[in-house]
Structures are given as C-alpha cells and as structure tokens.
Amino acid sequence: MLQHYQKSDHFLQQVNPTMKLMSLLTVIFYMVLIFDPWTPFLLLVVTIIGISLFGGVPLRFILLILLPFSLFAFSFVWMNVVFPDERGETILFTLFNMPVALENVQTGLSLGLRSLVFVSWSLLFVCTTEPTKFMLSLVQNCKLPPRFGYGMMAAYRFLPLFREELNQVRAAHRIRGLGEPKGLKGKVDETKRYMIPLLASAIRKAERVAIAMESKGFDGSTERSYYRVISWTKKDLIFGFGLFLLYAGLTLGRIFFLQ
C-alpha cells in the first residue's frame, strides 16, 4: 500500500525528495521556537489536508497512523498537568484534589501538538517519496558519495529478501519437527536458530554487493552518468513558495492574534 502512494502521480510525489527533506528540517527548526498550542494545531491541520489533497493519501489512512502518536502526545498534557515545573495561576478545575491550571494545559498541548506536527511531516515525506528516487536525489543533488547512496539503496532492497529467507528457514525447521517454541527459553532458542543462517546469508550478500559496486566503479572517483536523472522543476519552486506563504501566515497570525 505504501509503495502505491509513493509511486502515484500526485503533486507531492513529483516534488524533489531533497526539497521535501529540507522542508521537514525547516519545520523542525521552526517549531522549536513555538510555545503556543494554536500554531502547531493549525500547521497540523494544514499538513493533514495537504497530504490528502496533494499526495493522494486517504484521510482515514493518515488518521489511523496518527492515532497511536496521539496517545503519546496526550502524555505531554498529562505530565504537564500532574508534574508541572511551576503551577499556573489560572485554575480551571480540581482533579482528585489536584488543581489543573490553564497555563499547564496550554504548555502540554503545545508540546503534544508539536510532536504530532513532526509525525505528520515525517508521514508526508515517507508516503510521497520513493526510496530509490530519494537516494538518487541525494547522490545527484546533494553530492552524496555513490558508495553510500547505492549501498543504502542495496540494503533497502535486501529487506524483502531477508523476510523471504526467514520464512524459508522457519518452514524448514517445522518440516524437521522442531515445531512451535514453548515458553521464553524456547523463544530465545528459536531466535538463535534463525539468526545464524540469516546472518551468514547477510554477510555473503554484503560481500557480493561490495565486490560488484567496486568492480563497476561506484567509488565517486569518476563522473558518472545516470539512467534516471532527478532534476529541479517548477513544482519544487511552487512547493517552496507555498511553504514560505504558510510560515509567513503562521508568523503573522502569532504576531497579531497571540501576542
């Protein structure tokens, strides 16, 4: 399902992955300086709508991903209400003989919503960025050495193979009558039986890939040509300009309405 979203032809999928990575880092630095709950709330709503409209990701899928992180965000509110550094002056109500102050609730909401903003932008990047395109963008646009870029790409490609090998090893053990493990000791012994053949297979694959990359000159010593070129387009300019307008609007809103 995730690969289906990553390879679709919506606007966000056509934005340069390096631009989306820079936007993610920009959001992190921008939110570090924000302490009110309204700014991260508005940014969270805009981000969710943007992923759905411009990324083609269903709204239900986004909300399901954010649901467990919402529980984590609520823990910020609870911690600031129960164990505040300094109790606020505006008491809203009393919970189990414990005064709940407006200032502490606002601080908790700010931290919780800030964490959800980070998650939503990470979700935007993951759901709309093809891993191969991301690595090519780092190599071509950010001058990442090919040995690291293609090495990480090869490692990513190995993940489905390791899953298949794990299923094969598990099936082979069952055929030989090992059966399902019982108890914690059985689980540990089963993990050891799986780790040895999988580790040996991983070492063999790593050696073969290293030799193949070295023989084909993936060491960054020469200028290479690319079958798939990741270039900057007008969509990147539109995306960057849209982010500028978003941050400018949030900043002006904080100046005129929250100060």
Tens digits of per-residue pLDDT, 25-80?
A: 999 888 888 888 888 999 999 999 999 999 999 999 999 999 989 888 888 777 77
pLDDT at site 91: 67
Q: What is the pLDDT of residues 189-237, one digit of tens each?
A: 777 778 888 888 888 877 887 777 777 666 656 666 777 788 899 999 9
First to last CA, the chain: 44
Q: Please count the CA atoms within 13 angstroms of the CA of 8 that sit on its side-chain side.
A: 18
pLDDT at site 149: 73
Q: Which long-range contacts (CB under 8 A, 24 or more apart) does 256-259 make?
A: 258/36, 258/38, 258/39
Using only C-alpha atoms, the chain has a radius of gyration, in whole angstroms, of: 24
More confident residue, 122 or 157: 122
> DSSP code of 72?
H
CA 67 – CA 143 distance, rounded (Å): 37
The domain locations on the chain are 2-137+231-257, 144-215
